[in-house]
């Protein structure tokens, strides 16, 4: 998976000849069958061979071996449920081959150079929403980060804080007979409250140090309510959900719960973007429909491209100036004869990704369908 450290390590890698950096979009929402990305992969292999030729025969041999290995890797298959983009970095001369699986789609592309091309991975890292999961009960607090599909536990941040609540409650003093039970209970509650307050402070410090976009809380309902009240507003504003899972839950249970919340947040984000698009069309903030959207892409005005899942239609692409349009055959920009492409929507997505626009696939949105199944929020 992707991390800052891994990207830095890749970027710093030096090899004896050239490095092949290859990105393949395998997003299951647009490419349901492996055959759907076989043709783009073929095209990348061809481009790669052409580019390698410019570096001399020795480099070309190394790149050819890199490409074979990449094609083999893709053919063998991978877990498509959580991988939507692949990045390969290879230098066969040095016996180096690395695959980075991305939970967000990447634009198809191949670069042959003396250093690895990591910028698309940086964009994925920036676009990805980060979650923290904080589980609490009267005895403990646990903190997890859920980023790029991976769950990691960071409960050690609380360790200095964790005192045995019962031991704290048994502290000095001998309450009078009769009220003993109530006094002990009060001390237990006070100690639990102090620990919760401390956990809330520690969680704030930790999440300030390495920020997240969303916080998920979990544990017994009344403890979660109390804990939420103790959180710094910065953390409280980021709480997206409260889960009825025990604070002792296993990593698998936490991960499943986080995945569900992540999916719900994604659906909410999708709906909010479609609403912004609906409101923006006509005001200049957005365009809808194939023709207007392709025009905005060509003019590099797109900030977010929205596409209905499964939308495909044919169109035209100019090889010379990259113009995209619904009608051919002569390019209205440079008058070159354009190519008829089977799916101009796919070309639009690639173009958007290549220009570092955000691409949002939208599931079952009647609002977007009415707008023509494709649209864009504009930069200007």
* Contacts to Zn ion by CB under 5 A: 318, 320-321, 323, 331, 333-334, 336
Neighbours of 70 (CB within 10 A): 24
Q: Which is nearer to Zn ion, 334 or 342 (CB)?
A: 334
Q: Is 9 or 299 the residue whose CB approaches Zn ion more closely?
A: 299
- φ, ψ dihedrals at 13, nearest 5°: -70, 130
- Nearest approach in angstroms of CB 331 to Zn ion is 3
Tokens 């041999």 — which residue?
61
Minimum CB separation from Zn ion for residue 317, in Å? Answer: 9
Cβ distance to Zn ion smaller for residue 191 or 331: 331
CA 54-57-62 angle, to 5 degrees, is: 95
In the complex, the smallest distance separating the C-beta of residue 316 from Zn ion, rounded to whole angstroms, is 10
How many C-alpha atoms does 361 have within 13 Å on its Cβ side? 18
Residues 89/21, Cβ–Cβ less than 8 Å: yes
Shortest Å distance, C-beta 106 to Zn ion: 26
Check residue 86 and give left, alpha or beta (phi > 0: left; psi -120 to 50: alpha). Answer: beta
Nearest distance in Å: CB 324, Zn ion: 10
Return the SS3 of 124: helix
Angle formed at CA 120 by CA 126 and CA 294, multiple of 5 degrees:
95
Place of tokens 């991975």: 121
What is the closest distance, in whole angstroms, from the C-beta atom of residue 126 to Zn ion in the complex? Answer: 31
Minimum Å gap between C-beta 332 and Zn ion is: 8
Query: Locate tokens 């409960």: which residue?
Result: 155
CB closer to Zn ion out of 203 and 290:
290
> Nearest approach, Cβ of 80 to Zn ion (angstroms)?
35
Report the C-alpha gap between 133 and 154 in whole angstroms.
Answer: 10
Q: How far is the CB of 314 from Zn ion (least distance, A)?
A: 18
* Number of residues assigned to the chain: 380
CA distance 203 to 224: 14
Nearest approach, Cβ of 319 to Zn ion (angstroms)? Answer: 8
CB 312 within 8 A of CB 343: yes
Q: Which is nearer to Zn ion, 113 or 355 (CB)?
A: 355
Count helices and strands in the chain by DSSP H and E runs: 13, 16
Choice between 164 and 339, CB closer to Zn ion: 339
Residue in 306, 270, 275, 311 with CA at minimum distance from that of residue 288: 306
Nearer to Zn ion, 182 or 334 (CB): 334
Q: Give whichever of 131 and 323 is closer to Zn ion, judged by the CB atom.
A: 323
* Cα angle 2, 3, 5; round to 5: 130
Quote the tokens at residue 150: 């991976």
Q: How many CB atoms lie within 10 A of CB 13?
A: 16
Residue whose C-alpha is closest to residue 114's, from 19, 184, 208, 23? 19
Cβ atoms 288, 374 nearer than 8 A: yes
């Amino acid at each position: 998976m992707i991390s800052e450290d891994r990207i830095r390590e890749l970027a710093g890698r030096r090899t004896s000849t050239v490095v092949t950096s290859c990105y393949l979009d395998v997003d299951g929402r647009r490419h349901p069958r492996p055959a759907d990305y076989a043709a783009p992969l073929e095209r990348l292999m061809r481009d790669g061979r052409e580019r390698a030729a410019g570096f001399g025969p020795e480099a070309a041999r190394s790149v050819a071996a890199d490409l074979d290995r990449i094609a083999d890797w893709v053919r063998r298959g991978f877990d498509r449920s959580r991988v939507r983009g692949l990045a390969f970095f290879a230098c066969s001369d040095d016996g180096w081959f690395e695959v980075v699986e991305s939970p967000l789609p990447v634009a198809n592309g191949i670069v042959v150079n003396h250093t690895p091309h990591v910028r698309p991975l940086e964009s994925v890292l920036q676009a990805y929403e980060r979650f923290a999961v904080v589980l609490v009960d009267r005895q403990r607090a646990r903190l997890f980060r859920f980023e790029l599909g991976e769950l990691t536990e960071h409960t050690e941040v609380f360790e200095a804080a964790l005192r045995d609540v019962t031991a704290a409650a048994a502290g000095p003093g001998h309450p009078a007979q009769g009220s003993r039970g109530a006094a002990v209970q009060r001390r237990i509650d006070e100690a639990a409250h102090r620990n919760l307050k401390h956990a809330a402070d520690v969680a704030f410090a930790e999440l300030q140090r390495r920020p997240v976009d969303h916080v998920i809380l979990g544990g017994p309902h009344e403890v979660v309510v109390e804990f939420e009240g103790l959180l710094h507003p910065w953390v409280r504003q980021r709480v997206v959900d409260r889960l009825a899972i025990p604070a002792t839950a296993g990593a698998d249970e936490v991960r499943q719960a986080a995945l569900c919340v992540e999916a719900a947040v994604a659906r909410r984000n999708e709906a909010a973007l479609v609403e912004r698009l609906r409101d923006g069309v006509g005001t200049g903030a957005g365009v809808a429909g194939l023709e207007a959207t392709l025009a905005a892409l060509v003019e590099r005005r797109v900030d977010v491209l929205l596409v209905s899942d499964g939308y495909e239609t044919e169109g035209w692409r100019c090889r010379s100036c990259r113009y995209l349009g619904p009608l051919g055959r002569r390019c209205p920009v440079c008058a070159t004869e354009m190519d008829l492409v089977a799916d101009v929507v796919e070309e639009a997505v690639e173009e958007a990704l290549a220009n570092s626009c955000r691409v949002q696939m939208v599931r079952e949105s009647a609002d977007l369908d009415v707008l023509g199944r494709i649209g864009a929020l504009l930069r200007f």
